[in-house]
């Protein structure tokens, strides 16, 4: 699962704007805006979420879920709530 906060943080870490993420993922800018404006876990169709996560992964970003171990190398952040 991907939260809106994770998505905004992912863009910030990659240094890209919503338009660039839309290009990378093949989604529209309004779709990215809706996802980022979501409250908590992003809701959307599976195809859109799959495209989004694939684009983030291809850009070198690993999404870390709750209580998941990061297997990647490099810098990152984790929100401790």
Give the pair of three-digit tokens for residue 46.
């599976």
Instruction: Give a yes or no: residue 12 inside a domain.
Output: yes
Q: Provide the mean pLDDT of the chain.
A: 88
Cβ atoms within 10 Å of 29's Cβ, excluding its own: 14
According to the model, what pLDDT value does residue 28 have?
97
Answer yes or no: is 78 within a domain. Answer: no
Q: Is residue 63 part of a domain?
A: no
Name the DSSP letter for residue 30.
H
Angle at CA of residue 23, ends 16 and 41, nearest 5°: 70
Domain presence at residue 28: yes
CATH of the domain at 24: 1.10.260.40
pLDDT exceeds 90 at position 16: yes
Three-state DSSP state, 3: strand
Position 79 scores a pLDDT of 64
Q: How far apart are CA 78 and CA 49, in angstroms?
A: 21
Number of domains in the chain: 1
Tell whether 25 is covered by a domain. Answer: yes
pLDDT over 80 at 81, yes or no: no
């Amino acid at each position: 699962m991907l939260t809106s906060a994770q998505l905004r943080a992912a863009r910030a870490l990659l240094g890209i704007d919503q338009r660039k993420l839309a290009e990378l993922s093949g989604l529209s800018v309004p779709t990215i805006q809706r996802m980022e404006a979501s409250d908590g876990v992003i809701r959307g169709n599976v195809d859109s979420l799959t495209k989004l996560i694939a684009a983030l992964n291809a850009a070198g970003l690993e999404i870390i879920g709750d209580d998941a171990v990061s297997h990647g190398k490099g810098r990152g952040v984790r929100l401790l709530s």
